[in-house]
Amino acid sequence: MTTEELKQARLNPEFLGFLEKKENDAISSKNIKELYEVLDTLLILDLDDERINKVYETILVVAFDGIGAKLDSHTKLTLDGDDFLYIRAFYEHAIEKWSSDNFQGAKELLFVLSQIVDDELLNEAINVT
């Protein structure tokens, strides 16, 4: 999108109404794919930080619930479907820790992630020593 198209999207009441409805639906349904679509749109359009944080917090809750369910069933996460988005959320949470200078917390999260994902290449890539 061009700068002008972004500006138009930020000011288009029809689009903003659609986005708000999609946001509310995604939050109430806890659909992680829809939540990420809303989050990415909010970030691209540089909209309200409070809305962004609310969607991101919901993503983390959904992701951690999904990860917990996988672990309860003694299965690892894959790079398919919702699992991929659970991995993304967990990874982003670790990077957030790192960005806040909580290096130990980030390393611990990345270690855990490497133990719960069934993908050797990804595990090697995120292995922090």
Residue 44: which H helix or E strand, with range?
A: helix 32-44
**What pLDDT, on the 0 to 100 scale, is given for residue 127?**
79
How far apart CA 94 and CA 113 sit, in angstroms, is: 9
| pTM confidence score | 0.90
Tens digits of per-residue pLDDT, 69-127?
999 999 999 999 999 999 999 999 999 999 999 999 999 999 999 999 999 999 888 87
Which residues, other chains included, contact 127 with Cβ-Cβ below 8 Å and sequence gap of 6+?
A: 110, 111, 114
Q: What's residue 77's pLDDT?
A: 97
Residue 74 has φ and ψ, to the nearest 5°, of 60, 40
